[in-house]
Amino acid sequence: MEIDKQKIETIYIPEYNRATLCISSQIGCSLGCKFCFTGKQGFNRNLYTFEIISQILNVMKFIKIKKLHFITNIVIMGMGEPLLNFKNIVNSILIMLNKYCFNFSKRKITLSTVGIIPAINNLKKYLDIKLALSLHASNNKIRNLIIPLNIKYNIKNILKSIKNYIYKSKANKNGVTIEYIMLKNVNDKEKYAHQLAYILRNLLCKINLIPFNKFSYSKYLCSSNNKIHKFYNILLNYGFIVTIRKNRGIDINAACGQLSGKVFNRIKF
């Protein structure tokens, strides 16, 4: 989708009996997470409420023309950090939830954040929706390296803020989603799986392991399948609900972490 000659990316993910729409909140991103192509683009600006909502409307038009599965879930995990565009994201989600507009269930909308503590604390005044935390490390030393914002908002304080948010949340009654990208020889050692289990021991959550998707100029590689499954089994043995995210859209650079506003062989609205 092109906005004032700048591109944002919206990903339609169809499955057998459902379809998820991954939408963007900003043009680019200012956080510079080392494993994310959007961060390499830099930050252009926040998307306005109508621009966020237009992503849904445009895909709905396409779905109608192509007779595809209707949208059942919205994930705000595209380009940008949603909680750094707080007002427009809150207004957009309120429109998504409104019964006279899209009428989505709050359990069908997930907002992903790297952990903007003041915004998380403020969010509960306005919305009760599902949260996903882009944690990606089991200790501050590693997280500082791959997510520079962690120097300002560390793991302990982020988890405390998340725990406070979901305390009375009905949307998160089954737990917040913890996203953990698997980076070869960075955060994939077995000891880090044990560390992760320890720091999450008092948080109601499920863990989503994400194989790293390679992009241009990245120094990182994806962990081997063997290491990912060892990591998975360790967490499973601690009693966590654990999933391994399917890699989809790699062939068109549309997989998790590959969004950069450079659109090749994609649908243009």
Catalytic residues: 9, 256
Residue 183 and residue 147 in contact, taking contact as beta carbons nearer than 8 Å: no
Place of tokens 């200012």: 30
Nearby residues of 150 by Cβ (< 8 Å), 6 or more positions away:
115, 137, 140, 143, 144
162 vs 29: CA distance, rounded Å: 22
Structure tokens at 69: 């599965």
Q: Which helix (H) or strand (E) is 19 found in, with range?
A: strand 19-22
Residue 55 and residue 7 in contact, taking contact as beta carbons nearer than 8 Å: no
Dihedral sign computed on CA atoms, order 12, 86, 116, 96: negative
19 vs 29: CA distance, rounded Å: 26
Q: Please tell me whether residue 54 adopts helix, strand or coil conformation.
A: helix
